[in-house]
Structure 1
Amino acid sequence: MKIGILGSGLMGGKLGRLWAACGHEVCFSYARSTAKLEALAREAGASCGTVAETVAGAEVLLLAVHWSRVTDVLDQAGDLAGKLVLNCCVPLNESDTELVVGTTSSGAEELATMRPGARWVSCFNTTPSESFRPVFARKGQRPAPQVLTYGDDAQAKAVAGELIRDIGFEPLDTGGLRNARFVEPFAMATVELAYVQPGGAALTYRFEKLDG
């Protein structure tokens, strides 16, 4: 699958590397410097390019930028009509301490309003990036940790599920984009568990329904 990464920091860089290791054709874009982007692509055995080039050549896109950069990257990306876009952004302020959208709307819904022609699926935004490589190393072991996934396009969610399983997680469907109003705040709980409480940041989780 041809995967374009819009934002090549912690989330985009780590997921892109692992998808490339799975044999996907990955193109990185939107980094602080061209040198950083080129180094990342070389390391991953992938390619890099401008945002417009990446969008044009991709079957699936991953939007992985800080909320403050969303408008800029979308301006460079164009209208995204018909594009399947995985969103791992959380609508945080500059200091990453507070949600700037919530309760009556959500970051996912705001993105869908900005680019209504895109096929949006949110995933990985409640999962610390430090968990990606350890989970990938254990891929195939059961039970697999879960990734909360939500969107209004069932077919797009199915594709997202395949890519989630490639990393070693299991997708957990949490409904439509509107449910982002409740899922995105859960990211703040995972921040507390991963980065504030002891034990390290490679946090995973799994929800189970009990019989009886």
Structure 2
Amino acid sequence: MKIGIIGSGNMGRSLGILWAEQGHEVFFGSRDAEKGKATAEFAGRGTQGGTNDQAAAFADLILWTVRNIMPKQLLSHPEVLDSKIIIDCNNQDIPEGFAYPPIVESLAEKLAQDIPQARVVKAFNTMAQEVFELAPEPLKDYGVSVFVAGDDEQARKTVMGLAEEIGFLAVDSGVLRNARLVEGLEDFIRLIIGGQKQGVYATISVNVLPTASEQRLGGRQASSLK
């Protein structure tokens, strides 16, 4: 798969290298073409580097790592993203005291509004960059979850496959509106990492347990609560 990285910072560099290791063609984009080229030189494995416009034109799938900057602001021809899968891995800034406001519209939804013909998927926002250093080995032994939300089912499946290739446990999180919940989950994880001092390797894993062999506590009773 041809993968374009828009923004060659920590997240873009790390995921780009991991996907290149899996045999994907990767192009690192940056507002500074020389930075994109330098990232590709560091990454090796046949990766390329240049401008964000070049990365967008090159790829079938885009990792969008620039926060609060829309394609119509960043790209000369944002229509090049039409029909392509766009992974949004961004989160809002951390407010003082981790006092996050309610999320009434996710960053992923805002991105989708700017490029309505693209297939936006929320993913890879619920862990610190350092976790990628463990991928795919020994990461796969820990069952770290990547939550994948998007309105296009095939796009979700594609992104879930990319997550599983590099050692994550992909969790289908439904439609793009659910990105509000996924982004809120990362707000909580950052509280655990920084506010509760658990460190950057703190993650969340979804474990589906076996059914209890007996209902010794009486089981779930009918309730009017919803």
TM range (shorter): 0.7 to 0.9
Query: CA offset at residue 39 of structure 1?
Result: 2.1
Q: Contact 1:146–1:171 at 8 Å: present in 2 too?
A: yes
Question: Residues 195 and 130 of structure 1: is their aligned pair in 2 closer, same or farther, counting only changes over 3 Å?
Answer: farther
Where do 5+ consecutive residues of structure 1 fail to align? Answer: none
Partner of 2:116: 116
Judged with a 3 Å threshold, the aligned counterparts in structure 2 of structure 1 residues 172 and 9 are, in CA distance, closer, same or farther, namely same
Letter in 1 for 2:27: C
Structure 1 residue 15 corresponds to structure 2 residue 15: yes
Shift of 1:25: 0.8
Deviation string, structure 1 residues 131-154 (Cα, Å, up to 9, x no partner): 01113221553x521111100111
Deviation (angstroms), 1:88: 0.3
Residue aligned with 1:82, SS: coil
1:181 maps to amino acid: R
What does 1:80-159 correspond to in 2, within 5 Å?
Answer: 80-92=81-93, 102-138=102-138, 140-141=140-141, 144-159=143-158
Check whether the contact 1:29–1:50 (CA below 8 A) recurs between aligned residues.
Answer: yes
The answer for the alignment partner of 2:194 in structure 1 is 195
> For residues 190 and 72 of structure 1, do their structure 2 counterparts lie closer, same or farther at Cα, with a shift above 3 Å needed?
farther
User: Which structure is richer in relative contact order (CA contacts within 8 A, separation 6 or more)?
Assistant: 1
Counterpart-to-counterpart distance in 2, 1:109 and 1:199: 30
SS of equivalent to 1:136: coil
Among the aligned pairs, what percent are the same residue? 35
- C-alpha displacement of 1:130: 1.0
Distance 2:187 2:55 in 1: 31
Displacement over 6 Å in runs of 4+: none
Q: CA deviation at 1:194?
A: 2.1
Question: Deviation string for 1:122-178 (max 9, x for gaps)?
Answer: 10111211101113221553x521111100111001110111012210111111111
Confirm whether residue 48 of structure 1 aligns to residue 34 of structure 2. Answer: no
Q: Which has the larger radius of gyration?
A: 2
Tell me how large the CA RMSD over aligned residues is. Answer: 2.4
Q: Which range is displaced more, 35-44 or 86-95?
A: 86-95
What is the alpha-carbon distance in structure 2 between the residues aligned to residue 107 and residue 88 of structure 1?
Answer: 9
Query: Residues 55 and 77 of structure 1 are in contact (CA less than 8 Å); yes or no, is this contact kept in structure 2?
Result: no
SS of match in other structure, 2:186:
helix
Asked whether the equivalents of residues 6 and 73 of structure 1 are also in contact (C-alpha less than 8 Å), the reply is: no
